[in-house]
Amino acid sequence: MVKSWIFKEKGDTGSWVEHPESDLPDEPVLIDVVHSAINYKDALSLTRSAPISRRFPMVPGIDVVGTVRDDKSGTFKPGDRVVATGFGLGETHWGAYSTAARLKPEWLVKLPDDLSSRDAAAVGTAGLTAAMAVNALEAYGLPLNSGEIVVSGATGGVGSFALRLLDAAGYHAVAMTGRPGEEAYLRAQGATDIVARAEFEQDAKPIAKERWTAGIDVAGGKILANILSTTKYGGSVAACGLAAAMDLPSSVAPFILRGVNLLGVDSVMASQAKRAAAWQRVGAAIAKRPLGDMVFEHKFEEAAELAKNLLASKSKGRIVLSW
Ligand SMILES: NC(=O)c1ccc[n+]([C@@H]2O[C@H](COP(=O)([O-])OP(=O)(O)OC[C@H]3O[C@@H](n4cnc5c(N)ncnc54)[C@H](OP(=O)(O)O)[C@@H]3O)[C@@H](O)[C@H]2O)c1
């Protein structure tokens, strides 16, 4: 038998259910799930705050780390440690909150020997997204010692990883947070300075005093608009989230007067090449400096409660789930 969190139908609030393994989707790779995580999207899904799961019945959980038990495609061998993030897991395909999963081989990456399963889950969608954001900024030119790079949602999963990855590469990362009491945590992740989120929650002027060489934004809305209008000439801002809002109340002024670049980041359907580059970056950073105080370990059964806390900004860093 398999134990899974299942949304039986649209509108169902979900529950843990024991069911036969034959209920799993008909995909080639059978995995014993060892870990998952709680991303913002998982929290929205578990609390039914947004329609993340779009087919039913559905098992949520967008990050899977596990051990291969069987692979009909012949790509993996039993015992291989693997990770999958995105690709519609928990949305259109049964995801991670289960003791077992059946997945397509092309969704899976074999973990390198020097990356633990627990650390791979800590990275998950959040770490990959942060790495893709830094890679996108560098692709547009990001000289070292060029100035400050602002990171919004800094105590969160993407934000904490962004601080670490920027710090590991020698950049000056400034943490924007709604929780000034977390200054010690943010500096431990690599922030060289802290700015209050409240300063960025006002209506944005088309152009304001230049401060940032670049930015990584998980908030959207007025926060992204204010980052754009304070980004220096030629700078880039990687937009990857909507923790504040989906809209963007900005103007074209930063683009046409300062040549600012707005770079979109999506890790869900990202190419294998972008994924490989992101895993490389984040793996190297972890090898240099362990994740330490940014990982909080919990049991899968606690997921629903943890999701509520995450949406209420009562958690920080990365929540890793184990059986
Ligand atoms: N594009 C992609 O592929 C991709 C992938 C992963 C995540 N995302 C998106 O990125 C965002 C962050 O994800 P996550 O997993 O890092 O979530 P998370 O761990 O919950 O972190 C979100 C952080 O945003 C800040 N925040 C919370 N409410 C806010 C508000 N109303 N206005 C401004 N900031 C607020 C908080 O940081 P402070 O308290 O420090 O301000 C919070 O810790 C989400 O919108 C998620 O959907 C996108």
* Ligand 1, atom 13: closest residue by C-alpha: 40
Give the pLDDT confidence score for residue 144 in this predicted structure: 80
243, two tokens: 């923790």
CA torsion, points 68, 73, 77, 80, in degrees to nearest 10?
-40
SS3 16: strand
* Domain definitions of the chain by residue range: 2-111+291-322, 127-264
Q: Tell me if 45 CB under 6 Å of ligand 1.
A: no
Q: Tell me if 197 CB under 6 Å of ligand 1.
A: yes
Give the pLDDT confidence score for residue 143 in this predicted structure: 81
270, two tokens: 């990202």
Q: Tell me if 156 CB under 6 Å of ligand 1.
A: yes
Ligand 1 atom closest to residue 186's alpha carbon, by position in its atom list: 40
H-assigned helices in the chain: 40-46, 117-139, 157-168, 183-189, 221-229, 253-258, 272-288, 303-311
Ligand 1 atom closest to residue 155's alpha carbon, by position in its atom list: 40
Mutate to test the pocket of ligand 1, among 132, 134, 158 (most ligand atoms within 8 A of CB): 158
φ and ψ of 30, to 5 deg = -95, 125
29, two tokens: 């790779």
Ligand 1 atom closest to residue 86's alpha carbon, by position in its atom list: 3
Instruction: Encode the chain (323 residues) as per-residue pLDDT tens digits.
Output: 999 999 999 999 999 999 999 999 999 999 999 999 999 999 999 999 999 999 999 999 999 999 999 999 999 999 999 999 999 999 999 999 999 999 999 999 999 999 999 999 999 999 999 999 999 999 999 988 889 999 999 999 999 999 999 999 999 999 999 999 999 999 999 999 999 999 999 999 999 999 999 999 999 999 999 999 999 999 999 999 999 999 999 999 999 999 999 999 999 999 999 999 999 999 999 999 999 999 999 999 999 999 999 999 999 999 999 99
Fold annotation for 2-111+291-322: Quinone Oxidoreductase; Chain A, domain 1 (3.90.180)
Name the residue among 295, 319, 318, 316 with its Cα closest to residue 182. Answer: 316
CA separation for the pair 36, 303 (Å, rounded): 10
Asked if residues 54 and 91 have their Cβ atoms less than 8 Å apart, the reply is yes
Cα of 36 vs centre of ligand 1, distance in Å, is 18
Mutate to test the pocket of ligand 1, among 313, 315, 320 (most ligand atoms within 8 A of CB): 313
Cα of 38 vs centre of ligand 1, distance in Å, is 12
Q: Tell me if 294 CB under 6 Å of ligand 1.
A: no
Ligand 1 atom closest to residue 316's alpha carbon, by position in its atom list: 43
Q: Tell me if 129 CB under 6 Å of ligand 1.
A: yes
Strands annotated E in 41-90: 63-71, 81-85
Cα of 240 vs centre of ligand 1, distance in Å, is 9
319, two tokens: 């929540």
Q: Tell me if 285 CB under 6 Å of ligand 1.
A: no
Cα of 79 vs centre of ligand 1, distance in Å, is 34
Give the pLDDT confidence score for residue 313 in this predicted structure: 96
Give the pLDDT confidence score for residue 103 in this predicted structure: 98
Residue in the structure block whose two tokens are 């002024």: 253
Asked if residues 228 and 168 have their Cβ atoms less than 8 Å apart, the reply is no
Q: Tell me if 242 CB under 6 Å of ligand 1.
A: yes
Q: Tell me if 199 CB under 6 Å of ligand 1.
A: no
Q: Given 3.55.40.20, 3.40.190.10, 3.30.2130.10, 3.40.50.720, which CATH number is that of 127-264? A: 3.40.50.720
Ligand 1 atom closest to residue 317's alpha carbon, by position in its atom list: 19
DSSP 98: B
* Ligand 1, atom 30: closest residue by C-alpha: 244
φ and ψ of 110, to 5 deg = -75, 130
Asked if residues 100 and 32 have their Cβ atoms less than 8 Å apart, the reply is yes
298, two tokens: 């919990």
Q: Tell me if 241 CB under 6 Å of ligand 1.
A: yes
Q: Tell me if 157 CB under 6 Å of ligand 1.
A: yes
Asked if residues 197 and 223 have their Cβ atoms less than 8 Å apart, the reply is yes
- Bond preceding residue 57 cis, omega within 30 of 0: yes
